[in-house]
Amino acid sequence: MLRGRSVLILTRDQLTAALALIQIDGVARRLILCPPDLAIEHLPLVMATAQVDAVVSDYARADIGAMDGTHFITCSARITPTAAVRDERAASEWILFTSGTSGPPKMVLHTLGSLAGAIHTGGRLAGANIWSTFYDIRRYGGLQIFLRALMGGGSLALSSAAESTADFLIRAGSHAVTHMTGTPSHWRRALMSGAAPRILPQYVRLSGEIADQAILDSLRAEYPLATIAHAFASTEAGVGFEVEDGLAGIPANYLGHSNHGVELKVEDGSLRIRSPRTARRYLGNESAPLLDAEGFVDTGDILELHDGRYHFSGRRGGIINVGGLKVHPEEVEAVINRHPRVQMSLVRSRKNPVTGAIVVAEIVLKPELAAAEPAGENAALKTEILENCHRALAAHKVPAAIRIVPSLEVTPSGKVARPNA
């Protein structure tokens, strides 16, 4: 029934999505894996862009709106596999959502080959390990672990959004998890949960955010027998590389040559990756090309070289990563600037030991009003601005601190000067 179709997999439950993927790969022409936080209002756009003509879901059809002319198949975690006839020559396209910021979701085209490209490298990660991940398997980072467990003949303990970090770690420990992955923020939360000693991993991996020396050292202290690795991977660029020497940053000799078919270089300050693991293209006509003329993906992550290692210093355009959630400074500045007494503002990232980074703002007040202002009333003004932000923005986008400054540097082109921009 799904043969040759473009199938949207939209599930409440991770396990249901996992079973649907196993069942549909190699049968459907294309499968579109919806992340857990996909807003229902974006569904019509997603379905049009990906030319969806079938939906596999554990939602009721009515819950996700009318879809005329689309096959709707109800699915649950209790489905049993059937011996579907797979056409090995016709690999399904796997459509994943990028870990977006705001606005309409962006989709990229992978194949099982590009997604599994990092998996057949042998070594410690091959074999029947007991995997677990803080990530949801409907996103790139989690899907990697799902495929590793599946292809390596291992098993996988899924996380659950409904479960506390401590309960998840206790459960993972009861399954004797050997290999576990998450972002630095996930791991910081694990270390603060009190339940970190409940797992005894051989292998701990961090990705998705900058792994600083403090989190690497903390994990080394907590799990002295484990390999502590940090990796670069993104939905667009695939798995780039992994660093296992326990130090933050990337050894400079990782760049400039091919390693397992992956080439890294720095151009205009940002990391570029060319490999068989990158996505092929963005879905939708109006998107910019994903690959440049030479086949490199620009990750947008800015690298700086010091002491023989490259270190991530932020995102091009100043995008701030708060515990894995991205923030465009301009979006926050627009809200701050609506206050009648604000002349201009600069929203920037401040390093944070809990979420990696946090949003802070500097504001310049309108001169005629600033002059007449008794200093003590600034607290009330900051409160008003924060209240505006809380009303208009998601919690992670609201500045943790606001500082009133006399002026902000402006570039010759008339824009507020941004670090790393």
- Chain positions contacting another protein, by CB under 8 A: 164-166, 185, 188-189, 191-194, 214, 217-218, 220-222, 322-323, 350-355, 358, 360, 386, 390, 395-396, 400-401
Supply the minimum distance, in Å, between the C-beta of residue 395 and another protein. 6
CB of 219 to another protein, least distance (A): 8
Please tell me the number of Cα atoms within 13 Å of 351 on its side-chain side. 10
Residue 332 contacts residue 399 (beta carbons within 8 Å): yes
If the CB atoms of residues 218 and 278 are measured against another protein, the closer one turns out to be 218
CB of 373 to another protein, least distance (A): 21
Is the C-alpha dihedral spanning 314, 316, 317, 321 positive or negative? negative
Residue placing its CB nearer to another protein in the complex, 132 or 321: 321
Q: How far is the CB of 156 from another protein (least distance, A)?
A: 24
Buried b (16+ CB within 10 A) or exposed e, 239-249: bbbbbeeeebb
> Buried (b) or exposed (e) across 174-185, using 16+ Cβ within 10 A?
eeebbbbbbbbb
Residue number with CB closer to another protein (104 or 194): 194
Q: How far is the CB of 355 from another protein (least distance, A)?
A: 4
Q: Residue ranges of the alpha helices (H) in 35-95? A: 43-49
C-alpha dihedral, 387 to 388 to 389 to 392, nearest 10°: 120
Separation CA 169–CA 165 (nearest Å): 6
**349 and 361 Cβ atoms separated by less than 8 Å:** no
What is the CB neighbour count within 10 angstroms for residue 193? 16
Q: Which is nearer to another protein, 197 or 276 (CB)?
A: 197
Report the distance separating Cα 311 and Cα 308, nearest Å. Answer: 10
Cβ-based nearer residue to another protein, 115 or 332:
332
Of 275, 281, 249, 243, nearest to 262 (Cα)?
A: 275
Closest distance between another protein and the C-beta of residue 144, in Å?
A: 23
Give Cα separations from 337 to 1, 79, 345, 400 (angstroms). 54, 53, 7, 17
- In the bound state with another protein, the residue whose beta carbon lies nearer, of 45 and 405, is 405
Total number of residues shown for the chain = 421
3-state SS class at 272: strand
Report the residue number, 219 or 255, with the smaller CB distance to another protein: 219
CA distance 288 to 269: 20
Shortest gap between Cβ of 61 and another protein (angstroms)? 34
Nearer to another protein, 65 or 353 (CB): 353
| CB of residue 396 to another protein, shortest distance in Å | 6
Return the number of the residue (36 or 246) whose C-beta is nearest another protein: 246
Do residues 183 and 324 touch, judged by C-beta distance below 8 A? Answer: yes
Q: Min. distance of Cβ 307 from another protein in angstroms?
A: 19
